Every structure is written in structure tokens, then in C-alpha cells.
């Protein structure tokens, strides 16, 4: 089964002790990636029945928060390219969750407004996501959750200051 005489697991443990310094686990970036993958998979499972992906959920949340926002503004808030917003908007409109509303004062833009169905599905999925996040972080104390949230936000803050 394994390469030498020892079992694979035993060999790995031994090697790990011998070369702690080489470990990926020492990098924040690596741990961030692994954590993100886990949480994202969990998120996907939580929203499986709703037909919403992470990005459509996020876009719908932004439209709920800022009714009559433009696609370009949503893209900026989410940190993605304008071009990617078309498919997301198409998807949400096809499901009847928002409408493109022409703006009289600027005929280039189409304001995005949630429909009643969009409002309902957002509130339902938001609750699902909240419940799932609570389950996912059940082994975290309230303080640990707040600390994690604050530290994750701080990563973005440092980056934003650098850009400005």
C-alpha cells in the first residue's frame, strides 16, 4: 500500500515532525484558502435548493440594500468586472427576482430593482445562510466569531488604504 515498510500515515507524521519549517500551515494565505473552500462548499450546500450561487446571492443582497443601483455600481461593490454582471443580472431577472428599469435622467444606465419575489427569496436564503453559518461556526464562541469577522474585514481595510 505505501512506499516503504511503514504505513502512509506513520510516515507522514514522522516527516512532519522532521520538517516543521517547510509546512504550508505556517502561511496565513494557505489557511485562508483552505478555510474559504470549506465555507464556500458549505454555502453551496445551504443554497442548493434555491438555485442561487454565491455571486447571485451577493448581487441580490446588494440590490436589496441599494434599490435602483446600477450594474456598474454593484460590480464595484462586489469587486468584480462589469462584464460579469450581465450574466448575473440576466439570471436574477430570468428568475423574476429583479427588473432592469431604464433611467430617464441617464439613458445609458438601467437601474436594478428587486421584485416582491426577489425580496422573499432573498430573505429566505439570507436566513438559510445565517443558520448554516451558525452551524458551521458552532464550535466558535461568540467572541471568536466577532474576532474572526473583525480580522477578515481588517485585511480588506489595509488593502483599500493602500489603493487610496
Partner DNA sequence: TATTGTTATACTCTATAACTATA
Partner DNA sequence: TATAGTTATAGAGTATAACAATA
Which residues make up the interface to DNA (CB under 7 A)? 1, 53-55, 70-73, 79-87, 89-90, 100, 105-110
Closer residue to DNA (CB): 106 or 123: 106
Residue 10 interacts with, from DNA, a second copy, none (CB under 5-8 Å by kind)? none
Q: In the structure grid, which three cell numbers stand for residue 59, read together? A: 448581487
Q: Which residue in 49, 122, 57, 120 sits closest to 88, CA to CA? A: 57
CA 44 to chain centre: 10
**Least distance between DNA and beta carbon 143 (Å):** 30
Residue 36 interacts with, from DNA, a second copy, none (CB under 5-8 Å by kind)? a second copy
Residue 149 interacts with, from DNA, a second copy, none (CB under 5-8 Å by kind)? a second copy
Burial of 59 (0-12, 13-18, 19+ CB in 10 A): buried
**Least distance between DNA and beta carbon 23 (Å):** 19
Cβ pair 122, 65 in contact under 8 A: no
Cα(46)–Cα(43) distance, integer angstroms:
5
Closer residue to a second copy (CB): 51 or 102: 102
**Least distance between a second copy and beta carbon 116 (Å):** 16
Q: How many Cβ atoms sit within 10 Å of the Cβ of residue 108?
A: 8
**Least distance between DNA and beta carbon 146 (Å):** 26
Closer residue to a second copy (CB): 1 or 94: 1
Residue 28 interacts with, from DNA, a second copy, none (CB under 5-8 Å by kind)? a second copy
The CA-atom distances, in angstroms, between 1 and each of 6, 12, 78, 82, 150 are: 9, 14, 47, 51, 46
**Least distance between DNA and beta carbon 30 (Å):** 12
Q: Which residue in 91, 54, 94, 86 sits closest to 70, CA to CA? A: 86
Amino acid at each position: 500500500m505505501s512506499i516503504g515498510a511503514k504505513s502512509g500515515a506513520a510516515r507522514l507524521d514522522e516527516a512532519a515532525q522532521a520538517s516543521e519549517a517547510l509546512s504550508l500551515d505556517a502561511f496565513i494565505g494557505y489557511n485562508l484558502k483552505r478555510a474559504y473552500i470549506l465555507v464556500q462548499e458549505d454555502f453551496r450546500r445551504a443554497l442548493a435548493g434555491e438555485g442561487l450561487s454565491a455571486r447571485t446571492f451577493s448581487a441580490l443582497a446588494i440590490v436589496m440594500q441599494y434599490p435602483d443601483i446600477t450594474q456598474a455600481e454593484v460590480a464595484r461593490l462586489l469587486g468584480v468586472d462589469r462584464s460579469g454582471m450581465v450574466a448575473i443580472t440576466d439570471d436574477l431577472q430570468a428568475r423574476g427576482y429583479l427588473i432592469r428599469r431604464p433611467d430617464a435622467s441617464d439613458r445609458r444606465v438601467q437601474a436594478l430593482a428587486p421584485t416582491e419575489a426577489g425580496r422573499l427569496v432573498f430573505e429566505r436564503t439570507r436566513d438559510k445562510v445565517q443558520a448554516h453559518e451558525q452551524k458551521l461556526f458552532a464550535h466558535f464562541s461568540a467572541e471568536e466569531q466577532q474576532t474572526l469577522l473583525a480580522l477578515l474585514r481588517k485585511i480588506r481595510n489595509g488593502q483599500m488604504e493602500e489603493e487610496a
